[in-house]
Amino acid sequence: MNAKESAPQPMPPLGDLPPQLLPGRTEPMGARVRDGGVNFAVFSDHAQRVELCLFDAQGAHEQRRYALHGPHDGVFHGFLPGAGAGLVYGLRAHGPWQPAQGHRFNPHKLLLDPWAREVVGLFRWRPEHYGHDLAHPDGASHPDTRDNAPCTFKARVAPPPTPAPGRANAPRHRTADLVLYELHVKNFTQRLDAVPAALRGTYAGLAHPAAVAHLKRLGVTTLSLLPVQHHLDEIGLAERGLVNHWGYNTIGFFCPEPRYASTRGDPSAVAEEFRAMVAALHDAGLEVVIDVVFNHTPEGDEHGPTLSWRGLDNASWYRARPDAPGRIENLTGCGNTMNVAHPRVTQFVLDALRHWVQEMGVDGFRFDIAPVLGRTRHGFDPDSAFFVALRQDPVLAGVHLIAEPWDLGYDGYQLGRFPGRFLEWNDKFRDGVRRFWMHRGVGRGELARRFTASSDLFHHGHRRPSASVNFVACHDGFTLADMVSYAHKHNEANGEYNRDGRNGEPACNFGHEGPSRDAAILAQRERVRRAMLATTLLAQGTPMLHGGDEIGHSQQGNNNAYCQDNPTSWLDWAHADEALVAFTAAVLALRREQPALRHDVWFRVEAAANGERGLVWYRPDGAEMQLDDWHDATRHAFACLINLRGDPTPEGRDAAERGAAVLLLFNAEAAAVDFAVPGGPWHLRLDSSGSLPPALALDAGATLSAPASTLLALCAAPSPAP
């Protein structure tokens, strides 16, 4: 055979295909068009035989079945001459039915290829999807002999891979300059009238000039998309007439979600629309990071369905409980936990990541429930085999890596412990900022620590301040508008009797639950909202803005809208708060302009040779903060001077030439506080309350009255000319 991959040939009728498969190659995994045919490779350490099942173009009828060769090093393989792209297929695996030992082979169940690059067919939840007989008195110990092929997904052979058009024009923003913007593809444009109706809620809609214009106006650099891989709605949601709107239940790890495509019927067209979206966003200078879910699959626990991984090799794909190999360890809250410590599972994850970079063009990944990726038999290990392989991979060397650093298992909270260039969602920043501005038991010391990139968590090894992803709101929890309007969650629409979602989430309604017409309540909510927003976007580290917060979007108090594919989640552009959008853009413009606000080097305690210090904290009376001041829980006003002339590092000296100092005044008190402003002269550049003269200039030694619930930013130079 020629090693060169060839273009797909027209598919002959299935009756013209050979009676047997030729031996194939054991790599790459999945189905790959080459040399006038298709090569198939699938791994299973415990299967005795694996069959390739071919279907008609609609995936309705099985028409041919072949036994794959092997296994060779755990890989079953075969080559089908004359076949090509468009061939619809599934897998069946033969092996022991020993549930107590973790083996659940059942050849009556058609299995989706884990490496499928195209997924077709209509999935319907039916009892036939379960490997065990749900009606049998022995329960999970008795196999189900019904065929689930008519109502399950199938794989389709994809054309040979081609480089993503977006690879050539990727912006490649420096980590120190990143501003993340988390959004849901459908939510962002579903109600954006400036986007043509046929494109709203789609990949093409997100790439539309009207959508791009808003993102560029804000000044964000990098879109962090909620899951865009092909996902499956859980049976419980289907029974309640709901959907998994967020998409954290992946069934096709190599395939874009077709629900977000303007042309949904053809997987190839869906992929092309996604690739075109990435290329268009790159043209606008915007990067694309996608949320990936390599911690669990839709198969649930040992009582769940058999759709792919469980039927191919349950004992290899999933982590089992140490004391019971037939019981699946649930470190995710979703029933199962992928066994990424297994070499082939590591290969699966890396293959998928490379696919999304090379063929789809994305610029990085946010890993959901990320400690699972580094779990070994001894717990979480930042030097686990997966992380070592990831960090040395040449394709993935230049992409952004972001971790959600907690799972539900023992020792599951791993904030600050991820390796190398990983950035990490910092929930201590989220809760600390909220509680400080809402007077919920957080004082000046905690806010100062979080505002300066949480050095207690990240200042070790070679990690930089940018490792801390600073946010005050995200998809999971209250929106920014709701956290100042509701004191309690209101998730009744989810159909779980308000038991889902985070309990006790830091929030404050300022005197009335939900929408209010009271002018004083509304004014206080607005001040606190803007102060939290400014704190997040100006803090040292990597800021992340939750899409829709800048327009004042509300979910009516629902802090877990994972199943709300409706106006609860779709951004309400018709009632967008234009003043808040302008404020957000102004804060980010100030961050871009001032190197002191995006300094990706840890500030040192000692002074520079010129006697100046990089970071100094002041009381309102102008004296430096002392130990007793940091522990005084009754006061919530202080100042922070960031002075790059006092940074002795080369980065500090270089940045000082472009913008030396910024003075930030924090006043979370209920009344105005007078500040004796250190140094000077100063120019007011940001007033989160909007009540001070915008061009205010202060001489050295001046006093400034900071309004209640306000963050002020002063710079040595006035605003640049427009």
DSSP strands (E only) in 139-236? 154-156, 180-183, 222-225, 229-231
Smallest Cα–Cα separation from 362: which of 396, 327, 339, 314? 396
Q: Is 600:176 a contact under the CB 8 Å cutoff?
A: yes
DSSP letter string over 31-48? Answer: EEEETTEEEEEEE-SS-S
Cα dist from 368 to 352, 363, 390, 429, 453, whole Å: 15, 16, 16, 18, 21
Q: Which helix (H) or strand (E) holds 533?
A: helix 519-538
Identify the active-site residue in 233, 287, 368, 427: 368
Identify the active-site residue in 404, 565, 577, 600: 404
Residue 614 carries which side chain, given as an amino acid letter?
A: G
DSSP alpha helix (H) spans, 109-232:
185-189, 203-206, 209-218
Q: Is 491:560 a contact under the CB 8 Å cutoff?
A: yes
Cα dist from 425 to 102, 172, 272, 369, whole Å: 34, 21, 31, 11
Q: Which helix (H) or strand (E) holds 88?
A: strand 88-94
Q: Is 56 a catalytic residue?
A: no
* Residue indicated by tokens 């299967």: 47
β-pair type (180-183, 542-546): parallel
**Cis before 515? omega within 30:** no
Handedness of CA 38, 42, 48, 54 (dihedral sign): negative
User: Looking only at Cα atoms, what is the longest distance across the chain?
Assistant: 91
Q: Is 416:398 a contact under the CB 8 Å cutoff?
A: no
Q: Is 699 a catalytic residue?
A: no
Residue 48 carries which side chain, given as an amino acid letter?
A: Q
List active site positions: 368, 404
